[in-house]
Structure 1
Amino acid sequence: MSDIPENAPQHCPGTESQDAGKASACAGCPNQNICASGAASLPDPAIDIIKNRLSNVKHKILVLSGKGGVGKSTVTSLLGHGLAAKSPDINVGILDADICGPSQPRVLGVHGEQVHNSGSGWSPVYVTDNLSLMSIGFLLGSPDDAVIWRGPKKNGMIKQFLSEVDWGELDYLLIDTPPGTSDEHLSAVSSIDFTFLILVAGLQLLDTPQEVALLDVRKELQFCRKVGVPVLGVVENMSLFVCPNCKSRSEIFPATTGGAAQMCEDLGAALLGRLPLDPLLARCCDQGTDFLQALPHSPAVVALNDIVDKIISACEST
């Protein structure tokens, strides 16, 4: 481990410094005691456990967005259904890493299910025969329970998910994260960085076309480059509104600066596709029904299938 990681704050003395945990910059850091004791410079024993646990997972894809409310969890569920629908031989898993706001159990229609623990680890909840899900939402007593945890405890929970869930043989593992570039992202990325980065197909970024949302996605792209995670591409969500009755299209969020297409050109990222805003999709998510089966000819489903094909093509070429 280097003295100061590339993504560390400039004022951080580093885990191998004599001032680790003792400098004034360390005051208030949740890892201050660990750094001061010297334990932070030791290899994390969880890394090898995670590597062994996920050795049967071919492609790991993080779903990120710097801004909340852009439909990231919805698109994760759509990608899961889309990948699983391509073939019954394609096994897909979704890990809901949004510790404080787990929404995948409701979106996928499996809220209220229980997670079973056995000698081989936690068994994920199966949405379909080849689509499974693990979320902290299954471990709460009630969907209304609030998870009030600090960073280290959230990091520990994500590592526990990565090391103890018995996914079996998976072709794709989608990791749905909360918005931003904080504890949950660093915990997942650090595990991938030190274990199976070479197996990572890429990273999925979501954004809406307004410039405010694009600013946050640009930050997320910089985050990916700093931590060394390859970017698979960008999905522009809610790019336009398609009326479910007359099928007419209109721009609700005008892309005044060129939208995701211009941003991708500026930053050298691939635009995987655009998903339209469909009110029927929101209804399906609330009800936990599969939108792809409910409305297979919807413009959103057509666009999603094209995105899924690009993801599969990119993964198979790695």
Structure 2
Amino acid sequence: MTLPMVVPAQDLPARVRIHEVGARDGLQNEKSVVPTEVKAEFVHRLAAAGLTTIEATSFVHPKWVPQLADAEALFPLLGDLDGVALPVLVPNERGLDRALALGARRIAVFASATESFAKANLNRTVDESLAMFEPVVTRAKERKAHVRGYLSMCFGDPWEGAVPVHQVVRVAKALVDMGCDELSLGDTIGVATPAHVQTLLAELNEEGVPTSSIGVHFHDTYGQALSNTLAALQHGVSTVDASAGGLGGCPYAKSATGNLATEDLVWMLQGLGIDTGVDLGLLTATSVWMAGRLGRPSPSRTVRALSHQES
């Protein structure tokens, strides 16, 4: 299998932790419901490829995301994955109760930087949604759970257009202040560019949010996901969200195309000499396998290139 030539760049993290979202964010927007057993095998294959953080599912009401209605059935099937963090998304206290009852130790809440998306996704204002998340975060922390705060629409919104940096910083700071251990900055519709990324990161640092607690979550709508990731790495970010095979989008933002493909990310990071612990061959095979279950080819350029070599 072809691998990139390693040419290390200066002043980049030595290691990047990939926060794999394919099994949750990647599958939540599928038109058909993927069988629970296939999801479980998908997660196991991702772990076998070396991914150590794999977002497993969401404890949202089945009416809103029927593709993930099997959370109670799926999560116990992953109990044999020692050493693998299995975050789950919870929308409210009821979702938290369901997750904690199954032994989840890492949970995530999903906030919006804009009023329009907060209304579309949660039927609340931004401040109302933060008020809803506060007891969730507090109770999770009381149970010694790790809490991740997703923040969507950090760079642009399909209804509101460009999102002011100070507006994003306000909501991000509120999530950190309520107790979130980690913040994931989402470019939900893929409109960010590198200087915009670095400006937001610098403003967050100015407000006391350390780079070490920040992850980035880019979509590739305009082909900018990797360049934006590199800009974040140059700032010191070492947690990057990605989805195996480039699966996924957002069911409440129709202009949100696929996530950054994990294989495309790993190819770039390997070429930069950055350690991920991921076996690119096993990961590619996993995405080819999953694409077969979904009945369509993977959108990842790296998956297509490497699988073409094998055929």
- TM-score clears 0.5: no
TM bracket (short chain) = 0.3 to 0.5
- Give the TM-score, by structure 2 length: 0.37
Greater fraction helix: 2
Whose radius of gyration is greater, 1 or 2?
A: 1
